Amino acid sequence: MPTPSLHEVQRLFWESVAVRPGRDSIAPALVRLVRGADDSDRKTRIRVYSDAYYLRLREVLREDFPKVTALLGGERFDEIVAGYLHAFPSEQPSVRHLGRALAEFLRSCEHIPKFLADLAELEWARVEVFDAPDADCATIDDLATVPPDAWPALRFSTIPAIQTLRVQYPAHQLWSKSHSLEVPAAETCLRIWRKNDFLVLHAPMDERESAALPKMISGETFAAICETYADLPEMDAAREATGLLARWLEDGIIARIGGAA
């Protein structure tokens, strides 16, 4: 038998080790390549790696999706993980990216309540916000120096550590529960952000905020943000929009306040 190349050895190893738990997928050619007392001993040694592959990555997903794990139940979650690793193996040197497609995978699974995919989306957004780029936050004092006639042309930039999410179920309510519950579908908009003290938070947004926040994120003016309240009398619209702005400042999601572009 010709000596296999380094690449061939690694290919055989990978195919035998990166497998669903409980399946004996060890390639006979790999067994022949491994030293041991007998085939049983050789397979036992190889299984140390296949067990470690699954257990290590399962642990990463459990840590990144604690609420999905709790609602699904550990055993059911582990079954999901086995299928997920097969469909979406890790493609980045850092294991931090492993859970990138779990929500998508859950959505494709039959017999998995759809609200769990929404909850997974929320948990993944929290992971992404956790280590998004840093930025200093603007404060309410920064607004105090703005002359009244400059307000309509004001533009804002948000901190990088913010995401918005539109889901079909109230994922934030599911996140707060530690047990399974029946939740009716209800389209929900959430913002997920990281405060200056590195705490990751999320909050539901009403229709007006969910329309206004994308305008701020895309750099539109305060006047454009006020249009979200166009159905209200002018003074009420300005008051509501200013109140929203104050809340965003308090929550630490505005990084910079600037003039006209």
Partner 1 sequence: MSLLPHLGHGVGLRTVHYPHVLDRTARADWFEVISENFMIAGGRPLQILEKARELAPIVLHGVSLNIGGTDPLRKDYLSELESLIRRFTPAWVSDHLCWGAIGGRFAHDLLPLPYTEEAVRHVAARIRQVQDRLGRRILIENVSSYITYSISSMPEWVFLSAIADEADCGILLDVNNIYVSAVNHGFSPLEYLSGVPAERVGQIHLAGHSSQGDLLIDTHDHPVPTPVWRLYREAVRRFGAVSTLVEWDDQIPSFDELIAEANRAREIESEVLCANSVSP
Q: Which residues of this protein are in contact with partner 1, per CB under 8 A?
A: 3-7, 9-11, 13-14, 17-18, 32-36, 42, 44-46, 48-49, 52-53, 56-57, 60, 89-96, 130-135, 160-161, 194, 198
User: Based on CB atoms, which residue is closest to partner 1, 86 or 166?
Assistant: 86
User: Based on CB atoms, which residue is closest to partner 1, 131 or 236?
Assistant: 131
Tokens for 131? 């280590």
- The count of other CB atoms within 10 Å of the CB of residue 185 is 12
User: Based on CB atoms, which residue is closest to partner 1, 98 or 165?
Assistant: 98
How far is the C-alpha of 240 from the C-alpha of 24, rounded, in Å? 63
Minimum CB–partner distance for residue 10 and partner 1 (Å): 5
Contacts of 150 (CB under 8 A, 6+ apart): 259
Contact status, residue 212 vs residue 199, Cβ threshold 8 Å = no
- Residue 137's nearest CA partner among 39, 249, 8, 9 is 249
Q: Which residues pair with 205 in a beta bridge?
A: 189
- Residue 65's nearest CA partner among 132, 131, 125 is 125
Minimum CB–partner distance for residue 61 and partner 1 (Å): 12
User: Based on CB atoms, which residue is closest to partner 1, 118 or 123?
Assistant: 123
Minimum CB–partner distance for residue 145 and partner 1 (Å): 28
Minimum CB–partner distance for residue 81 and partner 1 (Å): 14
Tokens for 11? 């290919």
Minimum CB–partner distance for residue 188 and partner 1 (Å): 26
Minimum CB–partner distance for residue 179 and partner 1 (Å): 27
Query: Residue 155, SS3?
Result: strand
User: Based on CB atoms, which residue is closest to partner 1, 9 or 232?
Assistant: 9
**Tokens 């929550």 label which residue?**
251
Minimum CB–partner distance for residue 86 and partner 1 (Å): 11
How far is the C-alpha of 137 from the C-alpha of 196, rounded, in Å? 7
- Residue 91's nearest CA partner among 104, 82, 103, 100 is 100
How far is the C-alpha of 88 from the C-alpha of 100, rounded, in Å? 9
User: Based on CB atoms, which residue is closest to partner 1, 30 or 205?
Assistant: 30
User: Based on CB atoms, which residue is closest to partner 1, 161 or 174?
Assistant: 161
